Structure 1
């Protein structure tokens, strides 16, 4: 139980900017399997912010911008930064240079464009959705895709922010927290079957496409997996939501 608690705190410290007392013991090894539960925590905070903005009669579009800004702030831009770096790398035709470009901290044109598209998709989709609780599924499915990418595909660099997650993973055993969470949400916040199946398809396809392009994954592509899965899942949830 102590190990689980330390992994959970490690996941919060790594994947969010939420404050944790400095004397709390934590570990990053094995923490990745808890990132869907971190998504649940973040989604509850965003859902609360969305409810408060609706209570204050903030227009839906403005409220969506504020919620997405909070979303970005709670994660410290970790995943969006990875998505932008990945876009810059994929823009390079020479596959040998892609990892080098992705490691460059400077944002290129393709990275900026990818970041803008992701944020615009999230804002536009969120502004058209009436049920704030769908954020729970969006953030959980985005991180389920990351857990799958870590488990299924090789890590491309001997060092990096994501290497410890790959090295410390024990799969398929590490899927039990994700499976438990999906089971709970299926009872508490059920999604239409078509939207749920689309989310599962995103979990499989987005990591597979990046693997096909790069030959494996890095910490940056893990972030790209989260961001694009979240954005496209939000778009899918808008289908049928407008009368």
Structure 2
């Protein structure tokens, strides 16, 4: 139990900017399995912020921008930075140079354009969606896709934090926190059966397709592509929920 607690703290420390007491012992090896639970924590904080902003009666678009900004603040832009680096690498025609370009800390044109598109998708989907708890589901399923990418595909670099996650990955053991989070949310949240079926079908589809697409482009994954998987899965999940909201049965 102590090891699991340290892994959970390691996941919170690594994947968020939330403060932890300095004396607490954390463990990064094995922490990746807790990503969906961290997504649940992030989603809950965003839902709380959205509720507070509702009390101020702000325009929905302004409210969505503030929620997206808080989303970035909680994660420290970690995943968006990975998505930007990945886009810069994929923008290079020579496949042999892609990893070197991704390792460059400077942002290129492709990375900046990708960040703009992802943020616009998130803000516009949040502003137009009436699907309950959409930001929570996006934060969770985006990280389920990350766990799948770590477990399913080879890691392309010999070192780095991503390599720690890959080396400590243990399938199918690493998916029990994922299953627990999805079951708890499905039981606790007031959603109809049709809404739940659509949510999980969309999440499962993105989990399979998004990591597979990056693997096809690069031949595997890196820490940057793990971040890209999270960002694109979150954005596409929000868009999918926004598009389907009118056709889904109410709770």
> What displacement does 1:92 show?
0.6
2:35–2:143 CA contact under 8 A, matched in 1: yes
1:130, distance to aligned residue in structure 2 (A): 2.7
Paired position in structure 2 for 1:106: 106
> Structure 2 CA distance, aligned partners of 1:130 and 1:38?
24
CA distance in 1, matches of 2:246, 2:170: 43
Task: Find the aligned partners of 2:206 and 2:130 in 1 and give their Cα distance.
Answer: 23
Q: Which residue of 2 aligns with 1:183?
A: 183
1:11–1:35 Cα contact (<8 Å) kept:
yes
Cα distance change of structure 1 residues 14 and 119 upon mapping to structure 2, 3 Å threshold: same
The TM-score with structure 2 as length reference comes to 0.94
1:23 counterpart residue number: 23
Structure 1 residue 195: Cα displacement: 3.6
CA-CA distance at 1:132 after TM superposition: 5.0
Flag as ranges the 4+ runs of structure 1 deviating above 6 A.
Answer: none
Q: Is the 8 A contact 1:145 1:225 kept in 2?
A: yes
Alignment partners' CA distance in 2, 1:53 and 1:131: 17
Alpha-carbon distance between aligned partners in 2 of 1:132 and 1:45, rounded to the nearest angstrom:
15
Contact persistence 1:128–1:241 (CA under 8 A): no
Match of 1:77 in 2: 77
| Alignment TM-score, normalising by the size of structure 1 | 0.97
Specify every segment of 5 or more residues in structure 1 that has no aligned partner in the other structure, as ranges. Answer: none
Q: Is the 8 A contact 1:126 1:234 kept in 2?
A: yes
The SS at the match of 2:245 is coil
Q: What is the CA-CA distance between 1:131 and the residue it aligns to?
A: 4.5
Unaligned runs of 5+ in 2: none
Would the aligned equivalents of 1:50 and 1:132 in 2 still touch at CA under 8 Å? no
Deviation at 1:90, TM superposition (A): 0.4
- Asked if the contact 2:131–2:245 (Cα under 8 Å) also holds between the matched residues in 1, the reply is no
Match of 1:8 in 2: 8
The structure 2 residue matched to 1:221, chosen from 213, 219, 225, is: 225
Number of residue equivalences: 243
Q: Answer yes or no: is 1:232 the counterpart of 2:246.
A: no
2:216 paired residue number? 212
Deviations 1:141-161, CA, capped at 9 Å, x for gaps: 000000000000000000112
